[in-house]
Structure 1
Amino acid sequence: MATVVSESVERDTRLGRAWYANPYVQAAGLFALVRVVGVAILWLLADQHNRKIIDLLTAWDGDWYLGLAEHGYADLPSNFLDAAGNHTEHTALAFFPAYPKLVDFVHTVTGIGLEPSGVIVSALAGIAAALGIYRIGARLDGRHRVGLLLVALWAGAPLAISLSMTYTEALFTALAAWALVGVLEQRWLLAGLCCAAAGLARPSASVLVAVVGIAALIAVINGRRRPWAIACMVLCPLGLIGWWSYVAGKTGNLLGWFEIQRIGWGFEFDGGQESWKFLGHVLASGSSLMETVNVLVMIGGIVLTVLAAIQRVPWPLVAYSAGIVIMVIGASGITFAKARFMIPGFTLLIPIALGLANRKLPTAVAATAGVVLLGCWLSAYALTGWKFAV
């Protein structure tokens, strides 16, 4: 089962099948199709609100990342403000460096503007993520269909518009997916390098570091590919620890990054107190669509994690799902963005993909299309009809 995808590709090549029959090409094409639909729906809603689509795709945090790509951390203009309305010499250090560095690289090499460079980085990263997600889905029970369903559900999830924005979700998910591929296939160098790179993209890497590190430790204990597993254990935390250490040196505070997040954006781990208050308020009042969506996504994350455990999905995937859910629900700050914060948790969708794969093809396609269209519309609404950050 571990090599089912690669064996399938080799068989297709050996039989001389057309390039479009390659499962990876199909996964990339499906991801691109869903995202084109999502952006098209956003364009329609943007036109209704007299908004430019490029402004929406680079809104909120996207503007910060483009600013960092253009000016760097030290020279970022003072009009870049945190959620509290402040700008200090250390405010920008809340944002991880991998994405803006890649945007700057594409901008420098191609000569095109920063905004399209950012969209290109996200698009390419999204395709890379889709390939990793397909590989994980297809190897769960050896079925091509599961992988494609998982890709489609992820690409069309609520707030998956962030995968087409100048945000870090696509880049981080690509690195996380391939790190988990490395774990499942015991390709420890792949897992360690991807995990280290993910640590320079988003704080969600703390979950990935824990999962990859524990899996490598188990392999060391069991004596399986011990030297490479040890190398993975050394590599996997380097990016995250490196960035936190850099920020600590700049601020003179060992917990400098966490302080910047707490003061500027209200982010800190409170065990879910704020999230549960938010959940109770929304369920009692039903005050807005986006608040209700965020609550349903949080509840859904818990339910899907439990289902994955019951269905005996490989433990690294369940652990990664659980870690993402705990991080999102357990942290305070910007409750309206909880649905977006769940996007890297593509493993949460595995029980749905497995369930749909067991249905007749027309049923699976119709259900998936319905979920994708709803998710794309919610994404577009979040950027046009909702006034708060996502």
Structure 2
Amino acid sequence: MAHLTGPTSKFLSAPFKSILSLPASLRPAVYATSQSRCLATSTDPSRKQPKTAIFFPGQGVQRVGMTTDWLEAFPKTVKPMLDQIDETLKVNLSKIIAEGPNSKLTATENAQPAIMATSIIILRVLEEEFGFKIKDRIDITLGHSLGEFAALVAGGYLREADALKLVRRRAEVMARCSKDANEEVGMIALVCEADHLQSMIEAIHSFLGHNSEGTKSDSGSDHDLPPVQQVLIANINSKNQIVLSGGIKRINELLTHLRQFAGHGPRAVRLKSDSPFHSPMMQPAADLMKKMLSQSSPTAKNEDIIMWPGLMPCISNVSARPFQSQQHLKDLLARQCVETVLWHDSIVYLHEEEKVKRWVGIGPGKVGRNLVGKTTGVRGFGKGGGVWAVSGPNEVESFLREFEQTDAMNAAEE
């Protein structure tokens, strides 16, 4: 690789740029020896490292130019990946990501594969340019909504090309569902006091006739409405934030009920999405996923589209627990289109039961890192743990340095 030049070079320290000027084959070893602890030491199987999770973002974090800095800094790794993405999808997605316009990138059928592709590009840069091997350094993987596909790639359950095809087809159907609604649809986030969340969720279920997140009771009035009028809690993101999905008119009726009759006054924020993700309207996307996941891999002849077992556990959005089998994964991944994303429950489970100490966010934006930090109470790094977001080349150096320092902290405590 040539010496780093252009806009990205200003992000990196002089020693770091010197390392980047070396051939890719030498860079990981030289980088490791420049740190207080080298990767070989920190991955010594006789030494127990802090349990680590890697997580990926969902739709809404896309931005025009989100791969540009990565391409400039690491052309040897990134350029072939971008070319392969375009070839796999038969769409010039790399140009849409790089140049926009924003309205084109934001379209669901482009935004979803673009975010997933960017997340995987960042992941491969860490692996190939710096020797940060996921199978050695990460224990658990998960993703928020769309991010679940990147998590399945990272965890060794989906091939990259297969995941791209799944995401693109799924997104096309989702976009069509929204256009066919014939009324205003979307998503609205509700923010309340942390100690009021559970009672607010119960009030929502009572109004809608749901008996739990993502399910409906036969006695509920909402159950008999057409899909466009059925509202669902699409996400439980944190201890004080949920997202409602469905027809905007019906959601507003629910908000009026909460404020006038249920004693709740949450702050409501309309999200920049014209699609009601994780609602009954997305049933055609769930049906498509079920069909595609029952077939063999489009890219690996005579092999199942899902590889089992993976390299590490992967957490399901639907169950907030690891997938238990190949068929279990297929069922829940299809159901994810129409059921609640239990993100908060997933983080609590990993934090309290699995004792995850390190959280590495990979992909555009910082939303995931902020939600994880909010739930775990971890800010920055220290005491053998931390929460990081790697969304641009300027963040790689500090992440790798701090990540290795947590290894040293952990070793000192042993």
Between Structure 1 and Structure 2, the one with more helix by share is 1
Q: TM-score, normalised by structure 1?
A: 0.25
Between Structure 1 and Structure 2, the one with more strand by share is 2
Q: TM-score, normalised by structure 2?
A: 0.24
